[in-house]
Amino acid sequence: MEITGGFGFNPVLSPAVCILFKYFSKPEYGIHQMNQKVYTIVVDFWKDTFTGIHYCGISLHHISNDWKLQCFVIGCYPYDLESHSAINTRKFVESKLADYKLELNDAIYVVSDNETKMVATFKLNCQRTGCSAHYLNKQLEHAFNKEEVNKLPVSCNVIQDLFDHVKKLVAHMRKSHKQTKLSKCVQTYSETRFNGAYHMLQVFLEIFDKLAIVLDSTHLNQYLLLDKDLLEQICSFLKVFDEVIEQLSDDKKPTIYKVLPLRQRLLNGCQIQPNNHGGLKQLKIFLCKFYNFTF
């Protein structure tokens, strides 16, 4: 348990990490090879719900002389300052960049989420731009989980009821190990995973017809209340979002030129069709009304 718990694993992992770090820190590799005056920094903060530790991930993106996108992971660091104020957050990020002789200035772009703290952190001496994939994921997260946004009702109660029932059934099957009798393991919902609702619902749909034989009477009643037609329509609709997020997350080439055509693709997909289930109509209206996919 000590090894898998993390602390015991560190002595095993550390030597290998140090060797790789020294190897790729040579002048002919990585960051040392690029023009350090032109680059973009991607910054993300998150909290480990199990340990309560906050982490900061920093990566660097650079276009080489032959127009290829190069990506370097600067590091994933436990946040160790006293407070999470914008000033301290900025200080923390700059200290990690300084280890590589990198600094922020008005010519450097920083990509982050659109949380208030991040906007304030990178307000000065850099060009902050929001992550399109993060914006999109937040819109979907609100549709499935929030009753109101900016003091306005979300009004997606039909799909939220479906989502909650599926989430409870998935949790039950994982806890009771009944998924071992199925051809595919169910997926739990994760807010930190882009389009997490789609991945949970899609796997659930694929094994939908086989669930009756593994559920007890209590959970079987919940299962029988589910509308499979709505589930199919929601998954088909969210699949487009998953494809868009995948394209926006490409780390092999720049994606900013894709934002407008992909936005239009989503807007086209949100047009209400005569055969759309009422729950899907609610979702489409919410996404267009509240956000209009402003990346």
| Full 3-state SS string of 78-113 | ECCCCCCCHHHHHHHHHHHHHCCCCCCCCCCEEEEC
Q: Is there a contact between 229 and 236 (Cβ–Cβ < 8 Å)?
A: no
What are 93-142's pLDDT values in tens digits? 999 999 999 999 999 999 999 889 999 999 999 999 988 888 888 899 99
Q: Is there a contact between 56 and 76 (Cβ–Cβ < 8 Å)?
A: yes
pLDDT class of 257 with cuts at 50, 70, 90 = confident
Query: How far is 215 from 205, CA to CA, in rounded Å?
Result: 15
The pLDDT mean for the chain works out to: 85
What are 42-86's pLDDT values in tens digits? 999 988 888 999 999 999 998 888 888 888 999 999 999 989 999
pLDDT class of 194 with cuts at 50, 70, 90 = confident
User: What pLDDT score does 172 carry?
Assistant: 93
Domain boundaries, the chain: 1-29, 34-130, 136-290
Query: How far is 154 from 270, CA to CA, in rounded Å?
Result: 16
Chain centroid to Cα 104, Å, comes to 25
Longest dimension (CA), the chain: 65
pLDDT class of 38 with cuts at 50, 70, 90 = confident
Crossing angle (nearest 10°) for helices 132-145 and 278-290: 130
β strands within 106-224, DSSP E: 109-112, 127-130, 148-149, 152-153
Residue 254, helix vs strand vs coil = coil
Q: Percent of the chain, pLDDT > 70?
A: 86
User: What pLDDT score does 17 carry?
Assistant: 42
User: What pLDDT score does 2 carry?
Assistant: 37
Look at residues 56, 59, 45, 50 and name the one whose alpha carbon lies nearest to residue 6: 50
pLDDT class of 244 with cuts at 50, 70, 90 = very high
β strands within the chain, DSSP E: 40-47, 54-63, 69-78, 109-112, 127-130, 148-149, 152-153
pLDDT class of 178 with cuts at 50, 70, 90 = confident
The total of other beta-carbon atoms located within 10 Å of residue 244's CB is: 23
The arrangement of strands across the sheet holding 109-112 comes to: 69-78, 54-63, 40-47, 109-112, 127-130
Look at residues 39, 63, 44 and name the one whose alpha carbon lies nearest to residue 54: 44
User: What pLDDT score does 35 carry?
Assistant: 57
Over range 14-32, report the average pLDDT.
Answer: 46
What are 159-168's pLDDT values in tens digits? 999 999 999 9
